[in-house]
Structure 1
Amino acid sequence: MTVEEFEELAKHSGERVSLEFLYGKLGVKAVPDGDHREIIRWIARQILPIRGELWLYAELELKVQAYRNGRAKADGVLAPDESFAGQQEWVDPAPALMVLEVTSYDSDTDRRDRIEKPAAYAEAGIPVYLLVDRESCESIVYSQPEDGVYSSVRRHKFGKAIDLPDPVGVTLETERFKDWVR
């Protein structure tokens, strides 16, 4: 499948699923549940008052990976205001300071959120990848992309404050995450 064929298919996928194209494979991402959305809201509520020049763009479609022209639908992308003005549906990730993913309770989460997306986001040069893993009840902060991989990976159990490194430079409280897991 070419990236053009994928983009055409994604346009017609409907509202029940989101499609992604990573490492030459078509992936299906579940529509977020209410708890998933609450985690994203909680993170935005903490970051935006401190970093008012930024915005947390929800469910943004990113062009990722030099190899095979990947496409990922990120749960959240932290970037300066108006970073994606004038771009089409699938945007250039260059302005992104951080990408946020919250795991879903589907069979593809392990491969997609824990393996493929850290690789794709590091290859794209996104400085910080925050994974809120509802299965393991931890927040994982990936940072310092070098040669297509994140050289720093820090794991924090829910309830522990986490320092998001520069260029984000914000501390997040994660106690509330415990309310939004099964």
Structure 2
Amino acid sequence: MPHETTDEAPSTRVRELFDALPPLPGLRVEIIEGNIRMSPLGTPKHQVLAGRIFRLLMPVQDKQDWEAYPGVDISIEGPRDTLVPDYALAPKDCPLWGNELRSRGVIMVAEVVSPGSVHEDRVVKPKLYAIGGIPVCLVIDPVANTATVYSDIVDEVYKTKITQTLGETLHLPEPINFELETTELTE
């Protein structure tokens, strides 16, 4: 029997499969570099750190009248990958792509590194967030005991990367413009 061919790109088929998935409680489902990835939502300690980021950034959220989203789907414009950061900050009228925030409307994302997500959270996701045009990316890394902020996108790449030891103050640049005290983010 002849093999049926299609002009449809593999990434389009992956996107269609992703969109057809039923809710999968307890799992984070993402499209990362054209591949569907499923992982557990995180340990209680991981969730506590994500909650602390939410709480620490409440003054920014309230001052700017922005919305904070824990674990929201973000569609990366361009490759149309779907990432689920531990925290996202966006204006209340952030454009949507279906039920996902469009990356070009998101102001900031934050990831909490887990032992099983080191490469994705430190390397792959910041690269995709820059491609998607998200101005600020924060990576809280209890594995390395650091906090890193990425900013200044040029040609879809973050040009500025500042890393501090957890427990030190880290400046989150414009449009956030906030001194983040990372003492509460130490384990």
Normalised by the shorter chain, which TM-score bucket?
0.7 to 0.9
1:62 aligns with 2:94: no
TM-score, normalised relative to structure 2: 0.84
**SS state of the match for residue 91, structure 1?**
strand
Deviation at 1:134, TM superposition (A): 1.4
Please list every run of 5 or more consecutive structure 1 residues that lacks an aligned counterpart in the other structure.
Answer: none
Counterpart pick for 1:78 among 79, 85, 89: 89
Please list every run of 5 or more consecutive structure 2 residues that lacks an aligned counterpart in the other structure.
Answer: 1-12
Equivalent in the alignment of 1:44: 54
Counterpart pick for 1:7 among 3, 15, 19: 19
Conservation of the 8 A alpha-carbon contact between 2:77 and 2:132: yes
TM-score, normalised relative to structure 1: 0.86
What percentage of residue pairs aligned between the two structures are identical? Answer: 25
RMSD: 1.8
CA deviation profile, 1:140-169 (whole Å, cap 9, x unmatched): 101011111100011110110111000011
Larger CA deviation: 117-126 vs 41-50: 41-50
Larger CA deviation: 20-29 vs 126-135: 20-29
From the two aligned structures, give the one with the greater helix fraction: 2
Conservation of the 8 A alpha-carbon contact between 1:65 and 1:120: no
Choose between structure 1 and 2 for higher RCO, CA contacts under 8 A separated by at least 6 residues.
1
**SS state of the match for residue 60, structure 1?**
coil
Equivalent in the alignment of 1:19: 29
What is the correspondence of 1:114-133 to structure 2 with a 5 Å cutoff? Answer: 114-133=122-141
* Change over 3 Å in CA distance of 1:128–1:50 after alignment to 2: closer
Deviation at 1:28, TM superposition (A): 2.0
Equivalent in the alignment of 2:4: none
Deviation at 1:65, TM superposition (A): 4.8
Equivalent in the alignment of 1:100: 110
Distance in 1, matches of 2:39 and 2:76, equals 16
Distance in 2, matches of 1:41 and 1:117, equals 20
Letter in structure 2 aligned against 1:64 = I
Larger Rg computed on CA atoms: 2
Deviation at 1:66, TM superposition (A): 1.3
